[in-house]
């Protein structure tokens, strides 16, 4: 009789045999208990857009990411109702001085300008966020270039940024996951990245970007400028555009979804909207450009007819001296000051005079 036969006949289990199923059951029970606790844990209604930023913690943000990040995050940090909101693309961002508007009109003012590739869809999302956190304004100036009216939602930059913005703004409970703990994967990731510090350690926030300052400096300037970021750059527009410029932007129906939402928010909350198109350089003043702009104006006015609280600024087509412009979509600091003064005069003549 050998040892193996003896052990088998003895009926005594070999060491360790039969324990694995019990251990697995205990582990499964523990995991289910943890998931049950996580499922019962109260979830925040709002995402912290400073802690959870739109850019990757491990990659230094580019200038577009910094501006979108802080224009949107600041909308959640203002914590006070504004009399006048400025909304739009980069023409709004660098083309209107919120501080000067506030000083000259007495209206508490904030600039929500971002970029054309955020599109009317993203601009509507940002306005909705601002109203949710701070309440509706008394007045809204929607200041934009041709990009927001003429680009298609299928355009790669628009498609990418609109999707990215919406994922970032989505409330924590909006997505469904197989396991409740997956809902907190970003919190867990950020906790590891923070390594016990107050917040996540993001990379390259003090690095300048070519002619643009660092992310931290952009953050400071946007906050102190109440969302405006005037540009001191100088461009030889005459040389850049040349003679006999051919420029024919056309209204694209894709933009109407975002515009409709902006107009309906204004109607629901009872504030008027002024649509303002950015000035063009005198170098672009030719029959081809004038014809295209007349058609764009006519298409836009047709779309706003169902919304009597929405007005289009006149003259829709404005030409500024070349030395006040950067290109067909932007003005420099001196152009922005002239543009702002025009808005001060219009607001005083129309909105404030009507309120008296």
Question: For the residues of 51-82, what is the DSSP string, one character each?
Answer: TS-SS-TTS---HHHHHHHHHHHHHTT--S--
- For the entire predicted model, the pTM comes to 0.82
The DSSP 8-state label assigned to residue 349 in this structure reads: I
Average of pLDDT values for 122-145? 97
Q: 344 and 337 in contact (C-beta within 8 Å)?
A: no
Q: Is pLDDT above 50 for 2?
A: no
pLDDT at 301: 96
State the average pLDDT for the chain: 87
Residue 220 lies in a domain: yes
Looking at per-residue pLDDT, the higher value among 107 and 45 belongs to 107
Task: At 304, list the tokens.
Answer: 């706003």
Phi, psi of 272 (to 5 degrees): -80, 155
pLDDT at 244: 82
Three-state DSSP at 325 gives strand
Phi, psi of 195 (to 5 degrees): 50, 45
Residue 31 lies in a domain: no
- What CATH code is carried by the domain that includes residue 310? 3.40.50.1110
Average the pLDDT over each of 74-78, 143-147, 182-186, 286-290 and give the range with the smallest value.
182-186
pLDDT band for 330, please (50, 70, 90 cuts).
very high
Average of pLDDT values for 246-270? 96
Q: Is pLDDT above 50 for 78?
A: yes
Residue 35 lies in a domain: no
The DSSP-derived string for 100-162 is: HHHHHH---EEE----GGGHHHHHHHHHHHHHHHH---SEEEEEE-THHHH--TTSHHHHHHH
Euclidean distance between CA atoms 191 and 197, whole angstroms: 9
- Identify the domain containing residue 331 by its residue range: 63-355
Average the pLDDT over each of 1-5, 110-114, 261-265 and give the range with the smallest value.
1-5
Q: 272 and 310 in contact (C-beta within 8 Å)?
A: yes
Average of pLDDT values for 158-187? 73
Instruction: Find, among 333, 273, 331, the residue nearest to 306 by Cα.
Output: 273
Which burial class, exposed, middle or buried, applies to 94 when counting CB atoms under 10 A from its CB (0-12, 13-18, 19+)?
buried
Euclidean distance between CA atoms 27 and 41, whole angstroms: 21
pLDDT at 316: 96
Q: Integer distance in angstroms from the first to the last C-alpha of the chain?
A: 112
Q: Is pLDDT above 50 for 173?
A: yes
Residue 323 lies in a domain: yes
Handedness of CA 187, 191, 197, 200 (dihedral sign): negative
Strand partners, 274: 141, 311
Euclidean distance between CA atoms 40 and 31, whole angstroms: 14
Looking at per-residue pLDDT, the higher value among 216 and 197 belongs to 216
pLDDT at 25: 74
Overall domain count for the chain: 1
Residue 18 lies in a domain: no
Q: What count of other Cβ atoms lies within 10 Å of the Cβ of residue 100?
A: 19
Average of pLDDT values for 241-255? 91
pLDDT at 101: 98
Q: 96 and 339 in contact (C-beta within 8 Å)?
A: yes
pLDDT at 201: 80
pLDDT band for 197, please (50, 70, 90 cuts).
very low
pLDDT tens-digit series, residues 10-68:
455 555 555 667 777 777 677 666 656 655 545 556 788 998 899 999 999 999 999 99
Handedness of CA 234, 239, 244, 249 (dihedral sign): negative
Q: Is pLDDT above 70 for 181?
A: no
Question: How many C-alpha atoms does 55 have within 13 Å on its Cβ side?
Answer: 22
pLDDT tens-digit series, residues 268-315:
999 999 999 999 999 999 999 999 999 999 999 999 999 999 999 999
Residue 20 lies in a domain: no
Residue 38 lies in a domain: no
Of all residues in the chain, the percent with pLDDT exceeding 70 is: 81
Which burial class, exposed, middle or buried, applies to 249 when counting CB atoms under 10 A from its CB (0-12, 13-18, 19+)?
middle
Residue appearing with tokens 């000067």: 100
pLDDT band for 259, please (50, 70, 90 cuts).
very high
Looking at per-residue pLDDT, the higher value among 30 and 99 belongs to 99
């Amino acid at each position: 009789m050998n040892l193996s036969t003896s052990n088998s006949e003895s009926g005594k289990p070999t060491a360790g045999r039969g324990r694995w199923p019990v251990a697995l059951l205990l582990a499964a029970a523990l995991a289910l208990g943890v998931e049950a606790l996580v499922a019962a844990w109260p979830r925040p209604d709002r995402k912290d857009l400073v802690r959870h930023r739109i850019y990757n913690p491990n990659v230094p943000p580019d200038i577009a990411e910094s501006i979108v990040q802080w224009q949107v995050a600041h909308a959640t940090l203002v914590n006070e109702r504004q009399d006048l909101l400025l909304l739009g693309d980069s023409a709004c961002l660098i083309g209107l001085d919120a501080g000067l508007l506030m000083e000259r009109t007495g209206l508490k003012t904030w600039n929500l300008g971002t970029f054309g590739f955020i599109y009317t869809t993203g601009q509507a999302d940002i306005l909705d966020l601002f109203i949710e956190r701070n309440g509706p304004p008394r007045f809204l100036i929607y200041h934009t270039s041709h990009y927001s009216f003429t680009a298609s939602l299928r355009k790669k930059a628009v498609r990418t940024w609109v999707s990215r913005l919406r994922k970032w703004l989505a409330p924590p409970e909006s997505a469904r996951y197989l396991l409740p703990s997956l809902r907190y994967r970003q919190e867990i990731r950020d906790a590891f990245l923070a390594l016990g510090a107050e917040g996540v350690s993001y990379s390259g926030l003090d690095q300048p970007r070519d002619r643009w300052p660092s992310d931290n400096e952009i953050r400071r300037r946007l906050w102190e400028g109440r969302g405006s970021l005037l540009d001191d750059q100088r461009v030889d527009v005459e040389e850049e555009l040349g003679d006999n410029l051919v420029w024919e932007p056309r209204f694209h129906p894709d933009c109407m979804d975002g515009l409709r939402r902006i107009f309906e928010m204004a109607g629901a909350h009872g504030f008027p909207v002024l649509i303002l198109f950015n000035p063009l350089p005198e170098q672009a003043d030719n029959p081809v450009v004038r014809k295209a702009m007349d058609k764009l104006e006519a298409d836009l006015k047709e779309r706003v007819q169902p919304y009597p609280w929405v007005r289009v600024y006149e003259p829709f087509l404005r030409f500024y001296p070349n030395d006040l412009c950067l290109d067909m979509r932007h003005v420099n600091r001196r152009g922005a000051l002239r543009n702002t003064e025009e808005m001060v005069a219009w607001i005083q003549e129309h909105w404030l005079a009507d309120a008296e």
